[in-house]
Structure 1
Amino acid sequence: MPELPDVTVYLEALERRTLGHRLEAIRLASPFLLRSVEPRVDEVIGHAVTGTRRIGKRIVLDLEDDLFVVIHLMVAGRFAWADRPGAKIPARIGLAGFDFDHGTLILREASKKKRASLHLVRGAENLKEHDRGGAEPLEVDLAGFAAAITRERHTLKRALTDQRLLSGIGNAYS
């Protein structure tokens, strides 16, 4: 499952490829990927990417007009970049294609259980619903870290992986 280090690397690559470019299409190969109904897919089309960020293990593309694309890769979700717009989405593992003028971001999941999710969000206030509230491991000081992992009665591993206590750490890095 992609966790904080993996998501950080994805964000760096996504920022280089998408920042300032308009999202021209979202092609869904799986109807189960999209988990939100408002805003509609057609409402985010045509908006440029203004930034990227991480919320826990989620990847967020900030778009113009206070719109956001939130993707959770779950266990087996991965991104691939194709240097042509409208690139084919792989038949068995492809979930979606996000088309830009200079290429396509392909979301795929190499698992029989399709768990990855896509949420389209309007407004920064609504984006907060995707934040479980845990302390940011790259920003918290020692006292804050100690307070986070001792806030509830857990084993150390469970405290490290509880997204309400620490954000972005999962089984692989705990």
Structure 2
Amino acid sequence: MPELPDVEVYLEALERRIGGQVLAGIRLANPFVLRTVQPRPAEFAGARVTGVRRMGKRIVIELDEERFIVIHLMVAGRFRWLQPGANVPGKIGLAAFDFEHGTLGLTEAGSKRRASIHLLRGAESLGAFDRGGLEVMDATPDEFRAALLRERHTVKRSLTDPRLFSGIGNAYSDEILHAAKLSPLKLTDKLDDDEHARLYAATRDTLRLWTERLRHEASDGFPEKVKAFHPGMAVHGRYGQPCPVCGSPVQRIVYAENETNYCARCQTGGRRLADRAMSRLLKEDWPRSIDEVE
């Protein structure tokens, strides 16, 4: 799922293409992508784009007369910049937003349809999408610490909780915790002052680094291939591959449809964290230290 760095790059690309432009119309190839009944898409024809911004992991296109298009790409939703009036792409096409100089296409690969569009009128209507998470790039160390301590969770869960922190998901939380040299399962109320400082710095540095990297990769083009896994990541999506810092194989914890990746030597003092599925299956044979694996 695109997270803060990816969404920021999308916003920059959108601003270059549709900022100040008049929306000629909205075409829906899949009616289920639109999750609101009122206002109707026809009521947005002729509206001028006054800005684009991020709300958590959502993209908000602002138009005049307090009209808003809120788009959540979810896991497989993607934007494509097409020729004016272009057909919505094949089976993966969900919608098209027509402008004078081009068409913004919304697509979603796979069989699951999770991406969504909400059409809203009135600034107060945006409140339903504000989860209240802290914008880390604007936060002081004290504000960051206060958000982290609002609820007792593991640092991994807290970083990815949209009520606590805005725009951070599974991928970049792995990278943040690796940079901070912290176990993903350490409890927030057990962090000492040095660990709080490391986590604050690592969060901001990691998000800034990846925003700059993705911006460079996209160049002037539209970032059509934003994805969760990037070759330059330290641990996320790199299970079994060598940690770029110490060379130990990256470990993982699998749960539901997600997994947490970490380096046991860098983050947990060499201890392998129990994977609910595999550790229960292997029981006594489950290697508890990274030395047993290497």
TM-score norm. by structure 1 comes to 0.97
List aligned pairs for 1:5-44, cutoff 5 A. 5-44=5-44
Partners of 2:27 and 2:88 lie apart in 1 by 9
List aligned pairs for 1:140-151, cutoff 5 A. 140-151=139-150
Aligned position for 2:49: 49
Larger-gyration structure (1/2): 2
Partners of 1:48 and 1:147 lie apart in 2 by 40
- Provide the aligned length of Structure 1 versus Structure 2: 173
Deviations 1:21-68, CA, capped at 9 Å, x for gaps: 111111111111000111111111110100010000000110010000
- Kindly state the Cα deviation for residue 170 of structure 1 after the two structures are TM-superposed: 0.6
- Kindly state the Cα deviation for residue 96 of structure 1 after the two structures are TM-superposed: 0.6
Aligned position for 1:77: 77
Aligned position for 1:112: 111
User: Any gaps of 5 or more consecutive residues in structure 2?
Assistant: 174-294
Superposition misfits of 4+ residues, deviation over 6 angstroms: none
Deviations 1:64-118, CA, capped at 9 Å, x for gaps: 1000000000011110101x22111111111111100110001011121110000
SS at match of 2:159: helix
The structure whose RCO (Cα within 8 Å, separation 6+) is larger is 1
Deviations 1:114-170, CA, capped at 9 Å, x for gaps: 100000011111111111011112111111111111111110010000000001111
Is 1:2 aligned with 2:2?
yes
SS at match of 2:69: strand
User: Any gaps of 5 or more consecutive residues in structure 1?
Assistant: none
Identity %: 64
Aligned position for 1:96: 95
SS at match of 1:133: coil
Instruction: Pick the structure with more strand per residue.
Output: 1
Partners of 1:119 and 1:108 lie apart in 2 by 16
SS at match of 2:163: coil
Is 1:156 aligned with 2:183?
no
SS at match of 1:138: helix
Partners of 1:111 and 1:137 lie apart in 2 by 32
Is 1:135 aligned with 2:134?
yes
Partners of 2:57 and 2:118 lie apart in 1 by 14
Match of 2:163, as an amino acid?
R
SS at match of 1:74: coil
List aligned pairs for 1:53-64, cutoff 5 A. 53-64=53-64
Instruction: Pick the structure with more helix per residue.
Output: 2
Alignment RMSD (CA, Å): 0.7
Match of 1:49, as an amino acid?
V
Aligned position for 1:122: 121
- Kindly state the Cα deviation for residue 17 of structure 1 after the two structures are TM-superposed: 0.3
Partners of 2:159 and 2:55 lie apart in 1 by 16
